[in-house]
């Protein structure tokens, strides 16, 4: 499920891989949008219920809750600035988002099991760290991946979908979790587990489908040409010029259909059907020389 991000280095040369997809992949945009929406809905449970939950479990007031918010925010900043780039460069954006969904699920599951004991508070700190790690990895991975699914003409629309997933979550989540909190203070976090697990599943599908996309033939040709150090059009023009000069030098009269057919047959028989990155033994000098002698003898017989 390796996506594209570190792999973008393969397209670092001009004209290769730096223009984005030619058409927006709307099915993947939809799946990624649903995953982002589910993850953001889960995060609104913290915005709606966490202060009241910590008061009910540990007797926290506004000051203690302020320190909790400060601690988790600081941890998130450290992760984004010091660890995220290395993680996503190693794993890829979607794998990073999936891992983020798993850690978020662990965090919400842990929140729902707190008892209020001193040991439970230590556990809360661990679950808060896991939840912060998860939300940071997921949020920081999905936004850049949206841009990789969009053609240039639809980039604004696709990035708006990314922003709307966060706004829509704030419309759906608070009334939902507020109502659930009045019935059972642990239920919002249990439901958040379902949302984050669903988000991870959506991210997995996005990565799976994205990896199975066949590479366009034009892209393969461009990458091969880039490795060779020459663009395909330039190579074709160079070969045409060489063929023209060779025909003139060797004195072929192309007004004669037999000579045209002879040159065409030379090309068809001398060149292999395809070229790989590895050396093709059919292109060695011996092969070309043998074909040249055979076809020249046949041509001489036909002329005689």
283, HSE (Cβ side, Cα atoms, 13 Å): 9
Which carries the bigger pLDDT value, residue 287 or residue 202?
202
Q: Where is average pLDDT lowest: 99-103, 133-137, 146-150, 203-207?
A: 146-150
- When pLDDT is cut at 50, 70 and 90, the band that residue 103 belongs to is very high
Give residue 40's pLDDT: 95
Q: Where is average pLDDT lowest: 4-18, 34-48, 88-102?
A: 4-18
Q: In angstroms, rounded to a whole number, what is the distance separating the alpha carbons of residues 202 and 216?
A: 25
Domains of the chain and any CATH numbers: 6-215 (1.20.1250.20), 230-303 (no CATH)
Q: In angstroms, rounded to a whole number, what is the distance separating the alpha carbons of residues 139 and 11?
A: 25
Q: What is the DSSP letter of 208?
A: H
Nearest to 131 by CA among 57, 58, 196, 51: 196
- When pLDDT is cut at 50, 70 and 90, the band that residue 138 belongs to is very high
Contacts 24+ apart (CB under 8 A), 63-69: 68/128
Q: In angstroms, rounded to a whole number, what is the distance separating the alpha carbons of residues 200 and 109?
A: 15
pLDDT digits (tens, 9 = 90+) for 8-29: 444 444 443 445 677 889 999 9
Q: Where is average pLDDT lowest: 118-127, 216-225, 270-279, 284-293?
A: 216-225
Copy the structure tokens of residue 83.
């660890």
Q: What is the arithmetic mean of pLDDT over 86-91?
A: 90
pLDDT digits (tens, 9 = 90+) for 41-72: 999 999 999 999 999 999 999 999 999 999 99
Computed over every residue of the chain, the mean pLDDT equals 80
Cα distances (Å, whole numbers) of residue 18 to 21, 29, 146: 9, 20, 15
**pTM for this prediction:** 0.64
Q: Is the pLDDT of residue 32 over 90?
A: yes
Copy the structure tokens of residue 142.
């999905």
Say what percent of the chain tops pLDDT 90: 51
């Amino acid at each position: 499920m390796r996506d594209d991000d570190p792999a973008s280095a393969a397209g670092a040369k001009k004209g290769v891989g730096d223009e984005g997809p030619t058409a927006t992949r709307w099915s993947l945009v939809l799946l990624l949008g649903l995953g982002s929406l589910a993850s953001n809905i889960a995060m609104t449970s913290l915005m709606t219920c966490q202060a009241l939950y910590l008061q009910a479990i540990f007797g926290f007031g506004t000051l203690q809750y302020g320190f909790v918010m400060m601690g988790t925010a600081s941890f998130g900043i450290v992760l984004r600035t010091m660890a995220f780039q290395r993680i996503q460069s190693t794993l890829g954006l979607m794998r990073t988002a999936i891992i983020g969904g798993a850690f978020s699920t662990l965090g919400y599951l842990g929140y729902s099991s707190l008892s209020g004991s001193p040991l439970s508070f230590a556990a809360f700190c661990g679950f808060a760290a896991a939840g912060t790690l998860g939300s940071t990895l997921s949020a920081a991975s999905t936004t850049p991946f949206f841009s990789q699914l969009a053609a240039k003409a639809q980039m604004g629309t696709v990035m708006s979908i990314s922003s709307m997933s966060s706004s829509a979550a704030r419309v759906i989540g608070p009334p939902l979790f507020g109502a659930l909190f009045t019935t059972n203070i642990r239920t919002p976090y249990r439901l958040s587990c379902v949302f984050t697990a669903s988000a991870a599943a959506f991210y997995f599908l996005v990565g799976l489908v994205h990896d199975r996309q066949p590479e366009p033939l034009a892209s393969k040709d461009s990458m091969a040409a880039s490795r060779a150090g020459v663009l395909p059009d330039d190579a074709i023009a160079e070969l045409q010029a060489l063929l023209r000069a060779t025909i003139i030098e060797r004195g072929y009269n192309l007004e004669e259909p037999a000579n045209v057919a002879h040159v065409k047959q030379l090309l068809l028989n001398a060149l292999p059907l395809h070229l790989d990155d590895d050396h093709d033994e059919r292109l060695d000098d011996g092969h070309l020389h043998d074909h040249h002698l055979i076809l020249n003898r046949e041509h001489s017989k036909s002329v005689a």
